């Protein structure tokens, strides 16, 4: 990856209101490459918050993890494209037909609107799921890393730009999908910080060294007394791990 390391940090704005989001964005000015708007903020503030972040010059990853029949996800992907987002995602578990049609529609819509197509990412196994949960609750008997790699390959075959996965699966995905495939990884925790509900985690340096394209970090930055300093420390660690 030749991107400036700061561009590879995506901060998750997991707050309820536009006021809180804007406070964080102001505090983090120039400290990160993009902001992630997930279901908490999007469901409360809608597409306006995405437009407002973009008007301030920010790049936005809309993390709504679409999982539905092909036509519904295709239409949602068209909406994301017209909105002009930098990235959006869908669940690989929705199947190859859904993914293939959504990528095609995204590119078609971007061409018609004269904009760059957003990067489309596939969600594999959530970073909060343990191998035991995958087996006993979700009913997947395959080893967790093998399941993630199987889904990453399916996403790549369907034309997706990359996947969202835990840092613990980065090396296996890189090996299976090659150097260009994007791996966006949440589940990042600086040494000594709270895990919260995340289970399959690594430090920012370890995730970069393992081959992550982008890191998504929420609470270790947004919950810090000084979010800018927390982001700077993470970027420094990413830089040292340099790759
Ligand atoms: O606060 P924290 O750093 O755990 O935030 C991680 C963010 O990444 C959250 O917004 C969460 O929804 C998202 N995410 C995740 N695991 C995935 C996909 C997205 O943690 N597999």
pLDDT tens digits for range 202-215: 999 999 999 999 99
CB 140 within 8 A of CB 147: yes
Give the pLDDT score at 74. 98
Task: Looking at the CA of residue 126, tell me the nearest atom of ligand 1.
Answer: 21
- Is residue 123 lining ligand 1, measured as CB closer than 6 Å? yes
Q: Residues 67-74: what's their mean pLDDT?
A: 98
DSSP state of 169: G
Rounded distance between C-alpha atoms, residue 66 and residue 74, angstroms:
10
Choose, from 65, 150, 153, 240, the residue flagged as catalytic. Answer: 65
pLDDT higher than threshold 70 for residue 243? no
Cβ of 217 closer than 6 Å to ligand 1, yes or no, is: yes
Indicate whether this model's pTM tops 0.85.
yes
Contacts of 166 (CB under 8 A, 6+ apart): 125, 127, 148, 185, 186, 187, 200, 201, 202
The rounded percent of the chain whose pLDDT value lies above 90 is 92
pLDDT band at 172 (very low <50, low <70, confident <90, very high): very high
- Nearest CA-CA partner of 129 in 83, 77, 173, 165: 165
Instruction: Check pocket membership of 167 for ligand 1, CB cut-off 6 A.
Output: no
Question: Is the pLDDT confidence value at 238 over 50?
Answer: yes
Quickly state the pLDDT bin for 1 (edges 50, 70, 90): very low
Instruction: Supply 164's token pair.
Output: 């969202």
What is the whole-number distance in angstroms between the Cα of residue 237 and the centre of ligand 1?
Answer: 20
Task: Tell me the CA distances in angstroms from 124 to 41, 66, 136, 137, 243, one per residue in order.
Answer: 22, 12, 17, 16, 24
The yes-or-no verdict on residue 3 having pLDDT over 90 is no
Task: For residue range 146-168, list pLDDT tens digits in order.
Answer: 999 999 999 999 999 999 999 99
- pLDDT per residue as tens digits for the range 13-49: 999 999 999 999 999 999 999 999 999 999 999 999 9
- Select from 9, 14, 32 the residue to mutate for testing ligand 1; criterion: most ligand atoms less than 8 Å from CB: 14
């Amino acid at each position: 990856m030749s991107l400036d390391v700061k561009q590879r940090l995506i901060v998750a704005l997991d707050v309820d209101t536009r006021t809180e989001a804007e406070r964080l964005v102001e505090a983090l000015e120039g400290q990160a490459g993009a902001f992630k708007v997930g279901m908490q903020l999007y469901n409360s503030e809608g597409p306006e918050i995405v437009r407002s972040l973009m008007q301030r010059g920010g790049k936005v990853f809309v993390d709504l993890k679409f999982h539905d029949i092909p036509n519904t996800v295709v239409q949602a992907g068209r909406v994301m494209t017209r909105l002009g987002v930098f990235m959006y995602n869908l669940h690989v578990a929705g199947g190859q037909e859904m993914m293939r049609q959504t990528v095609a529609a995204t590119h078609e819509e971007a061409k018609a609107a004269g904009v760059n197509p957003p990067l489309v990412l596939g969600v594999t196994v959530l970073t909060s799921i343990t191998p035991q949960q995958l087996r006993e609750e979700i009913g997947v008997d395959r080893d967790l890393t093998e399941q993630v790699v199987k889904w990453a390959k399916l996403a790549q075959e369907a034309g997706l730009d990359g996947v969202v996965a835990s840092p613990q699966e980065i090396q296996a995905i890189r090996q299976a999908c090659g150097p260009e495939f994007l791996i966006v990884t949440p589940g990042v925790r600086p040494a000594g910080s709270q895990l919260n509900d995340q289970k399959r985690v690594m430090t920012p340096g370890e995730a970069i060294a393992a081959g992550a394209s982008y890191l998504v970090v929420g609470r270790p930055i947004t919950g810090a007394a000084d979010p800018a300093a927390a982001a700077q420390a993470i970027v420094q660690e990413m830089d040292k791990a340099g790759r």
